[in-house]
Amino acid sequence: MHAIIEIQNLSPQERAVIEAFLRSPDPVSQRGLMSRMRTAPSQSTMSRIMSGLIGRGLITKTGQTRGARFFLTPDARRVAADPRLRAPIPYDEARIASYVPNGTRWLPEESAGRMQAAVDRTDARCPTASTWVRAIAERFLIDLSWASSNLEGNTYDHLSTEILIKYGERASGRDLLETAMILNHKAAISAMIDGIDDVFPNAETARRRHVLMMRDLMDPSDLGTVRRNAIRISASSYRPTSDHVLLSLGLGDLLAKARLVEDPFEASFLLLAGISYLQAFGDGNKRMGRLLASEPLLRAGLPPLTFVGMDRTPYVLGLIEFYETGATGLLGEAVSFSYETTVHDYVHAMSGQRIPRAIEIRERDRLAGALGQVFRDRMPDDGIPGLVDALFDDLSEGDRSEIVRILSETAAHASPASAFLYGLTENDIQERNAANRHSRV
C-alpha cells in the first residue's frame, strides 16, 4: 500500500504516534516516543500500534528488545507533515523535457496490462476513429461531463447531467457555476469529437479547448492563456513554475510527445498526468488533463477514459504523489481501475449500433434491389462481384469494391425478419445463407 493512502486511514491513536515521530528527527525507542506524546497509551497498546504501523510500511525498526529504535520511513515523514510546513518542491523542467516517446514509460506496466486486458476481454472490433466516436458520442459526452465535474465537487448527478446535456434543462437547487461547468465540459468534449479526424492536438488546440472548458468560470482575459502568475496546489508542497516561457514550451512539448507515443494507454496517461503537473493555465488544469486523456484512446478506436467509477481519494493523492516525487503507481492504479469498470459498457454500446456509410444512403434503392437478387438466386459470395459490375457499372472501381463489401456483409448478417425490405420470404434469406456457408466449406 502507498504511504500517502495509509496516512489518510490512520486511527486517532495511530495519528498521535505519527505526530510524535514528526517531533523526533532521530530514531527513537518506544519508551522515548511515548514520552513525546501528550496522552500516551499503555505499553501493550503502544506495542500493538507500533507493530501495525511497521506492517503498513510507515515506520522502520532497527535493533532488538531494549535497544530497538524506530523511525518514520522517508515517504511517511514526507506525506505525514502538514504540506504548508514542508520544504517547497519546485517545478522540474526535466520531468517533461526528458520524456522520450516510446522509450520512457509513465503508466506502470501492470496498469497498462490491466487496461489492455479489459479491452481484450470484450473482443472489441476496431472501427475507424470517426465511426467509433460517432457511435459513442452521446454516452461519452454525458459520462465524462458528469464524472469530471463530480471530481471537482459538482453535485449534479448522472441523470441530471444527461437531462441538461440533451435537453438543456437545469437541475433545481444547483447553482449557475455547477451548470456552467457541465455545459463547458459538453462544449470542450464536442470540440474533441468534431476534430477526431484532424491532426493531433497541439498547444493552440489545447488553448482553444481551455476557452470552452472554462468559459464564464474565469476572467475572460485568462481563457486559453498560458499563465504568468504563481499558483498553489492545495494539500501539496509542489510549487508549479510561474515562468510563462517554460509553461508555453512545456505545453507544446508535452502534446508533441504524446502525438508520437504509439501505445494509446501510455499517451493517454502522459497527457492526464503531464497537463495536471504542468498547470499551464490559471484554473481548470485537471479538467483539461481528463479531457485530453481520451484523445489517444479514441483515435485508436478504443473506449475512452471517462473517470466514471473513479475513486476521488486515490486519484487526487496519486496526482499529489506524482507532483512531489514523480511516482505514478497510485495514479496508475486509480486510472486502470476506472477504465476497467467502463470498457464493457462502451463496447456493448458500440455493438448495438451501426453507422451507415455515405454510399449506403446514396445507393439505398439499388442496394436493396441487388440484395433481393442475391437472396432469390441463392447467390454465393463469390458471385457478388459480377453482379455489382453489371448493376453498378456507372460507379468507380473503388465504389464498386465498397458495394461488394456492403452486399456480402449485409447478406451474411441479414435477419430473416428483414425479408420484406427486399420483397422476399424469410426462407429466401435462411436458405441463401445456409447454401453460402456450405459453398465455403
Q: What values do phi and psi take at 315, rounded to 5?
A: -65, -50
Q: Residue 246: what pLDDT?
A: 98
Q: Angle 384-391/364-376 helices, nearest 10 degrees?
A: 140
CA distances to 28, 43, 239, 251, 294 from 263, in Å: 48, 54, 30, 20, 13
Pairing label, strands 69-72, 89-90: unpaired
Cell numbers placing 32 = 522515548
The model carries a pTM of 0.78
Q: Using DSSP, state whether 82 is helix, strand or coil.
A: coil
Q: Residue 170: what pLDDT?
A: 92
| Fold exhibited by the domain 89-351 | Fic-like fold (1.10.3290)
Cell numbers placing 386 = 459480377
Q: Residue 439: what pLDDT?
A: 65
Pairing label, strands 59-62, 89-90: unpaired
The CA distance from 239 to 74, in Å, is 20
Question: To which H or E segment does residue 59 belong?
Answer: strand 59-62
Q: Residue 113: what pLDDT?
A: 97
| Fold exhibited by the domain 3-80 | Arc Repressor Mutant, subunit A (1.10.10)
pLDDT in tens, the chain (441 residues): 688 989 989 999 999 999 999 998 899 999 999 998 988 999 999 999 999 999 999 999 999 877 899 999 999 998 998 888 888 999 999 999 999 999 999 999 999 999 999 998 876 555 577 777 888 899 999 999 999 999 999 999 999 999 999 999 999 888 999 999 999 999 999 999 999 999 999 999 999 999 999 999 999 999 999 999 999 998 999 999 999 999 999 999 999 999 999 999 999 999 999 999 999 999 999 999 999 999 999 999 899 999 999 999 999 999 999 999 999 999 999 999 999 999 987 776 655 555 567 788 889 999 999 999 999 999 999 999 999 999 999 999 999 999 998 999 888 888 889 888 888 999 999 989 888 876 654
Q: Are 72 and 58 in contact (CB under 8 A)?
A: yes
Q: Are 394 and 342 in contact (CB under 8 A)?
A: no
Angle, CA 76 vertex, CA 73 and CA 81 arms, to 5°: 130
Strands annotated E in 168-304: 238-239
